[in-house]
Chain A
Amino acid sequence: MVGIVIISHSSKVAEGVKELALQMVDDVLIVAAGGTKNNELGTDIEKIILAIKQVYSEDGVAILFDLGSAYMNAQMAIETLPAQMQKKVEILDAALVEGAIVVAVESSSGKNLIEIQEAVKGQCLHKIR
């Protein structure tokens, strides 16, 4: 099953998105990585690395994020992983809430990472340019 990481500048937003996704399907591997290490607004590379490792499997990990630096920190977090892991972790460009729900539903029904990327295209916000 594809694992899911939710990154937001706000830990409340990240937790809330996770809660909404779990309301739809409660059997997915989803973890919230919101806020900084001091629980202030922002994103934290170490929290993100830990989150990826928590939900990682051979099936891969889908990352959803909110704003600019969340994307940059997600990229940098992936760069710290071993090469075989890096290939199986994808950052998705999608509206955070809607995207998380689509990804959770697809992951729960056993879809692979490529199918999930395809399914979430309708939620694309062109945040990754």
Chain B
Amino acid sequence: MSISGLQVISILNKIASVIEENKSYLCELDAAIGDGDHGINMNKGFIAIKDKLKDNNGGDIGEILKKTGMALVSNVGGASGPLYGTAFMKAAGEVNGKENIDIEDFIKILEAALGGIMMRGKAEIGEKTMIDAIAPAINAMKEALKGGLAPIDILKASKDASIQGVEYTKTIIATKGRASYLGERSIGHQDAGATSSYLILNTIYEQVKGIKEGMV
């Protein structure tokens, strides 16, 4: 199955709603070990994305993702702006000019996004960041693809691995970002950035499932 540009926009709009619904939750997670603005900042960014994409005809998915990235860079005050912004802009480069994308394109998109986040944040796996939710998701998708699973089950594998990654962030010390100033006190708390990454991946799964079942 493939996903069209207009469906990508519809998924991004749904992600915006999910971020809005979880605005306070993300702020609470962030406030425990950071500066407490992750939900507010992400919500600001996704409101800008909805506005930037409202008249887009969906003809070029690369362009859609690039605009998404730029909206995040310009409208999010915290670290998630440059990080997610770079992620979407790097992702855009993988699907320039494409009207439709399939599951293999999506894996490439996520890999480029992760590469962008790691480059911008100079971070690795195991530092209690969004990387801990995204990297396992990519690995799970690649394995699922190799195992011959259907695209929707590959997406399910990504969100399942991602939530496990979020759980893992509770067990480790933050060594990047504002939480790193708290050292061992950061243990026991889940990372807000990893959580928003999971929310994004889970929404993509839910929406594609809906499209497949003819509900969206």
Contacts and interface: CB of A to CB of B under 8 A. Distances in A.
B82 A36 contact: no
Given A69-B82, A72-B83, A43 B73 contact: no
Nearest to B76: A42
A69 B30 CA distance: 15
B77 A43 contact: yes
A111 B85 CA distance: 36
B56 interface: no
Interface in B5-61: 35, 37, 41
B98 interface: no
Contact of A76 (B37, B41, B86): B86
A73 B122 contact: no
B120 A41 contact: no
Contacts of A129: 122
A119 interface: no
B178 A67 contact: yes
Interface in B167-216: 176-178
Contacts of B145: none
Interface majority SS (helix, strand, loop, mixed), chain A:
loop
Given A41-B35, A129-B122, A69 B78 contact: yes
B126 interface: no
A42 B44 CA distance: 13
Contacts of A69: 77-79, 81-82
A45 B83 CA distance: 13
A44 B77 contact: yes
A69 B78 CA distance: 6
B188 to A, nearest CB: 22
B74 interface: yes
Interface in A69-94: 69, 72-73, 75-76
Which of B82, B86, B120, B178: most chain A CB closer than 10 A? B82
A42 B77 contact: yes
Given A72-B120, A75-B120, A76-B85, A40 B79 contact: no
B93 interface: no
25 contacts: A9-B35, A35-B77, A36-B77, A40-B77, A41-B37, A41-B77, A42-B41, A42-B78, A44-B77, A45-B73, A45-B81, A46-B74, A68-B176, A68-B177, A69-B77, A69-B79, A69-B82, A72-B79, A72-B83, A72-B120, A76-B73, A76-B82, A76-B85, A76-B86, A76-B120
Interface of A: 9, 35-36, 40-46, 67-69, 72-73, 75-76, 129
Interface of B: 35, 37, 41, 73-74, 76-79, 81-83, 85-86, 120-122, 176-178
